Each structure stands twice: as C-alpha cells, then as structure tokens.
C-alpha cells in the first residue's frame, strides 16, 4: 500500500516535469505564433527599428523596389535601384530623393546613408526629357533653354516672374514654359520670347516698361507684346525689337539714351528707332545695332567707351562704329565684335581682363583680340570665345568659376576651357555651354540655381546638365 502510494507520487512528479518541459518547448518554438528567432531584430531588447519605403512619385508605369529589412538608428542603408522599371512619360528616372519635389537629399542606386531615428520614404526623382537644344540665353541669374522642337524651358532666379512659369519661385532644374518658340532673349530680370508665328511675348520685371505691353506691371506668365517680329534683344531694363520689315523698335528704360530714339524718356510701348536693320544686341544701359550693309551702330551709356566710337560720351541717337561686322555681343560695359573675316575685336570696360588682350586697359575704340573665331558670348565681366576649330576659350573675371577652367583666378589672356563646342551663352557670372554631341554644360555662379543642375552650388569646372 505504501509502495503504490509512493508510485503515485512519483508519477505525479514525472507528469509535472513533462508538462514543464512541454510548456518550455511551446514558449521556445512559439507554436501558437511564428518562430521566436532570437536573431530577429524585433526580438533584441528595447532597440527601435525603422523601415525604408520607396515612392513612385507620379510614375506612369513600373513598380517600386521593396526593402524588407529593419534598421536600427545608425545602421547603414544601401539604396536600391529602379528594379521595377519605374517610368514617367516625358521624364527620365534620376535616382531617389527624400522629398517629393526633389529639394531634399538625392541618392543614386547603390549609395548608402545612416539610418536616423524615423522611418524613411524615398521618392523617385524625375528629370524632364529634352530633345536637342537650339538656343541658350542667359543673363543676371536666370537661364532660358530652347529645344529644337520649339519647347522653351527656364531655370534660376524668378522673383519677378522672369522664368514665365506662372510663379515667382526660383528653380534649380529647368521647368517648361512655352511651346512653339523660335527665339528667346533673357534680360536682367525679364525675358522676351519670340514664337514661330512671329508674335513677341514678355514676362518678368516691368517697372520701366521693358516688357512693352503698355503697362509697368510685372508678369509671371508671358503676355503678348507685338506681331511680325524677326528678332529681339533684352538689356538690363530695356528691350530692342527687330521686325520682319527691317525696322527697329525699342521699349523700357531710356535714362542713358539706350533706346536710340533721340530722347532719354522711358517708354512702356515700343517706339521706332531706325530701319534697314539685320540684328541688334542690348547691353546693360546701351544698345549695338547691326545694319544690313554690315555697318555697326551704337547708342546709350558710354562711360567706359563701350560704344566704340572713340569717345566716352553717351548717345541718345545711334552713332557709327565700324563696318564688315558679322556679330556683336554686349553685357555690362564691354562690347565684343566679331567681323566677317573671323577676327575678334573689343571695346569698353576691360578692368577684369574681359577683352583677352593681355591687359586691363579699357578702350574707347575697338582693338583686335583674336583670330579664327566663329562665335562669342559676353558675361558681366567675362568673355567666352568659340573658335572655328570648336575649342572654347575664356577670359576676364572668374571669382565664381564662370570661366570654367577649374580655378577662380581671373584672366586677361584667354585660357582653353573645352573642345567640341557648338554654342555658348554667358550670364552675369555664369556660363552655359552646348557641345557638338548635344549635351549641355554649365559653370560659375549658381546661387539661384541658374546652372540648372538641381543644386545651388557654384562650379569652377563645367558640369553636365541632365535634361
């Protein structure tokens, strides 16, 4: 009897031990849930873990990549590529950004970053697809880019609406403005747009009537100015308009006689200046006019001798400068003249070596600078020279890297920048370069995003603009 009782007690003890063992297995294996992996990040004490999510951000096809990992703060995250073939009509995938509008931090596939203390969402970054570029026009702090298909895009400073996109928001990447465009001219804070039907449109600063629409109201969306227009030039706060009948018209500020109408009265509606014109360019406070007979004429401010008439006397009526001229460019007190024999000449302000004649001596009569030149662009105090062999040379002020030679050293003798160049445009302190392969490059001041590379970082070596 005692033996049976002892056995019963032993059985109870054994049964209890088995139950404890079974319960331990249940807890360890989590039979009622998933396996409780001690290596799973979610089971590592009180550490917080975060996720990375990818957003298509307006894609029209494809799928976003999926990152199933969990990351502790400080852990290294490797950015995934466009494995799902995301695409957006009219745009090119350009990586990822921490903000939907592209103003955050950008990441390329395979790049890494340290996880912070919050979940991360990365948005697809899209850049507008551009066809071949036809014309680049740059001035103070904005750049206008015209495609061969007639689409006009703009980048840079926009506080007066000079980009013409309906806002006053500055842009660091090009935005589309208008279609069916033939030519464009960027002023200091205004832009003149010539459409394929011969109509002239204007946008931006209009405080001096430089838009020519009969008002002094600034515009952020282009307004119609005139019909039957052949070409247009935009100065600092004035505009010169060349019509299909060969007549020249002018509007805007006229304090220094830059309109050439014989007065110093500002105009808010274009007034006729002269006839027999084939081209015109507008400087800061003066204008250079090329007539059909190849003679060059000048009017306006002349303190540095920029009119090239041998004096420093300002003019309100155009005066003769020289003959056999092919092209002329102006900006801020200096004038660069390309003759039909491909020789390059300069007059006016040369304090920064912008002539490229090896001196910093200003001139009131044009001096020869270089031979074998096919095109030229003038910045505020720098000059870009495109030779007949396709090489691009630069001279003058270089504090922002606008010469593109990899330095910020100003030059009084032209230095080689790059080869295989098709066209060049110079803004106030930045330069836009179009190569023969159709790629667009930029260098210099980028405070307002005028280079169009998606940043506001100055460049001293040309960077390619992804269009």
pLDDT on residue 296: 98
pLDDT on residue 30: 45
- The mean-pLDDT minimum among 12-21, 140-149, 443-452 falls in 12-21
pLDDT on residue 343: 98
Which CATH fold topology does 41-128 show? Immunoglobulin-like (2.60.40)
For 197, phi and psi rounded to 5 degrees?
Answer: -85, 5
Q: How far is residue 402's CA from residue 157's CA, in Å, rounded to a whole number? A: 17
Q: How confident is the model at residue 187 (pLDDT cuts 50, 70, 90)?
A: very high
pLDDT digits (tens, 9 = 90+) for 264-279: 999 999 999 999 999 9
pLDDT of residue 21 exceeding 80, the answer is: no
Output helix, strand, coil percentages for the chain, rounded to the nearest 5.
5, 45, 50
Starting from the edge strand earliest in sequence, which strands make up the sheet with 181-186, in order? Answer: 181-186, 190-195, 200-204, 219-226
pLDDT digits (tens, 9 = 90+) for 352-407: 999 999 999 999 999 999 999 999 999 999 999 999 999 999 999 999 999 999 99
For 401, phi and psi rounded to 5 degrees?
Answer: 85, 20
pLDDT on residue 139: 86
What are the extents of the domains in the chain? Answer: 41-128, 133-465
pLDDT of residue 160 exceeding 50, the answer is: yes
Cβ pair 142, 157 in contact under 8 A: yes
Mean pLDDT confidence for 241-252: 97
Angle at 410 between CA 408 and CA 416, to 5 degrees: 85
pLDDT digits (tens, 9 = 90+) for 282-315: 999 999 999 999 999 999 999 999 999 999 999 9
pLDDT on residue 241: 98
Return the bridge partners of 190, or none: 204
pLDDT of residue 131 exceeding 80, the answer is: no
Q: How confident is the model at residue 101 (pLDDT cuts 50, 70, 90)?
A: confident
pLDDT digits (tens, 9 = 90+) for 322-358: 999 999 999 889 999 999 999 999 999 999 999 999 9
pLDDT on residue 19: 55
Q: How far is residue 6's CA from residue 382's CA, in Å, rounded to a whole number? A: 108
Mean pLDDT confidence for 440-466: 95
pLDDT > 90 in the chain, percent: 82
pLDDT > 70 in the chain, percent: 89
Residues with Cβ < 8 Å from 274, sequence gap 6 or more?
247, 248, 260, 289, 297, 318
Cβ pair 448, 154 in contact under 8 A: no
Mean pLDDT confidence for 443-449: 97
Return the bridge partners of 344, or none: 338, 370
pLDDT on residue 446: 97
Pairing of the two strands 286-291 and 296-300? antiparallel
pLDDT digits (tens, 9 = 90+) for 392-436: 999 999 999 999 999 999 999 999 999 999 999 999 999 999 998
Residues with Cβ < 8 Å from 10, sequence gap 6 or more?
none
User: The domain at 133-465 falls in which architecture?
Assistant: 7 Propeller (2.130)
pLDDT of residue 132 exceeding 90, the answer is: no
Angle at 181 between CA 176 and CA 185, to 5 degrees: 85
Backbone dihedral region of 424: left (phi > 0), alpha (psi from -120 to 50 degrees) or beta? beta
pLDDT of residue 26 exceeding 60, the answer is: no
Q: How far is residue 241's CA from residue 409's CA, in Å, rounded to a whole number? A: 37
Q: How confident is the model at residue 15 (pLDDT cuts 50, 70, 90)?
A: low
DSSP annotation string for 131-193: --EEEEEE-SSEEEEEETTS-EEEEE--TTSTT-SSS---EEEEEEEESSEEEEEE-SSEEEE
pLDDT on residue 47: 85
The whole-chain average pLDDT of the chain stands at 91
pLDDT digits (tens, 9 = 90+) for 54-96: 999 999 999 999 999 999 999 999 999 999 999 987 678 889 9
Q: How confident is the model at residue 238 (pLDDT cuts 50, 70, 90)?
A: very high
């Amino acid at each position: 009897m005692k033996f049976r009782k002892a056995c019963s007690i032993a059985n109870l003890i054994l049964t209890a031990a088995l139950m404890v063992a079974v319960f331990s297995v249940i807890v360890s294996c989590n039979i009622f849930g998933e396996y409780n992996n001690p290596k799973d990040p979610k089971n590592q004490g009180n550490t917080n873990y975060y996720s990375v999510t990818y957003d298509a951000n307006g894609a029209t096809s494809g799928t976003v990549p999926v990152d199933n990992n969990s990351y502790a703060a400080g852990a290294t995250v490797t950015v995934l590529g466009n494995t799902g073939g995301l695409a957006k009509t009219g745009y090119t995938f350009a990586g990822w950004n921490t903000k939907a509008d592209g103003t955050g931090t950008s990441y390329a596939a395979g790049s890494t970053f340290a996880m912070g203390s919050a979940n991360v969402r990365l948005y697809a970054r899209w850049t507008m697809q551009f066809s071949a570029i036809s014309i680049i026009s740059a001035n103070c702090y904005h750049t206008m880019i015209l495609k061969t298909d007639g689409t006009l895009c703009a980048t840079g400073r926009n506080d007066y609406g000079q980009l013409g996109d309906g806002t006053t928001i500055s842009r660091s990447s090009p935005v589309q403005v208008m279609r069916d465009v033939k030519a464009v001219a960027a002023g200091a804070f205004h832009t003149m747009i010539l459409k394929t039907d011969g109509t002239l449109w204007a946008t931006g600063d209009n405080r001096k009537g430089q838009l020519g629409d009969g008002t002094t109201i600034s515009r952020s969306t282009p307004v119609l100015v005139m019909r039957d227009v052949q070409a247009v030039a935009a100065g600092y706060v004035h505009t010169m308009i060349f019509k299909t009948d060969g007549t020249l018209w002018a509007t805007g500020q006229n304090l220094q006689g830059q309109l050439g109408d014989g007065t110093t009265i500002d105009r808010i509606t274009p007034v006729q200046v002269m006839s027999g014109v084939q081209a015109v360019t507008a400087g800061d406070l003066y204008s250079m006019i090329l007539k059909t007979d190849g003679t060059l004429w000048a009017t306006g401010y002349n303190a540095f001798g920029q009119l090239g008439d041998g004096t420093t006397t300002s003019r309100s009526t155009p005066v003769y400068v020289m003959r056999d001229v092919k092209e002329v460019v102006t900006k801020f007190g200096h004038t660069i003249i390309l003759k039909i024999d491909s020789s390059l000449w300069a007059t006016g302000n040369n304090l920064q070596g912008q002539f490229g004649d090896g001196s910093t001596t200003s001139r009131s009569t044009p001096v020869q600078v270089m031979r074998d030149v096919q095109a030229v662009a003038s910045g505020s105090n720098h000059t870009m020279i495109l030779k007949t062999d396709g090489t691009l040379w630069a001279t003058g002020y270089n504090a922002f890297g606008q010469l593109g030679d990899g330095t910020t050293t100003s030059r009084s003798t032209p230095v080689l920048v790059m080869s295989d160049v098709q066209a060049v445009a110079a803004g106030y302190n930045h330069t836009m370069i179009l190569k023969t392969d159709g790629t667009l490059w930029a260098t210099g001041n980028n405070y307002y995003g005028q280079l169009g590379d998606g940043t506001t970082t100055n460049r001293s070596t040309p960077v390619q603009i992804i269009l």
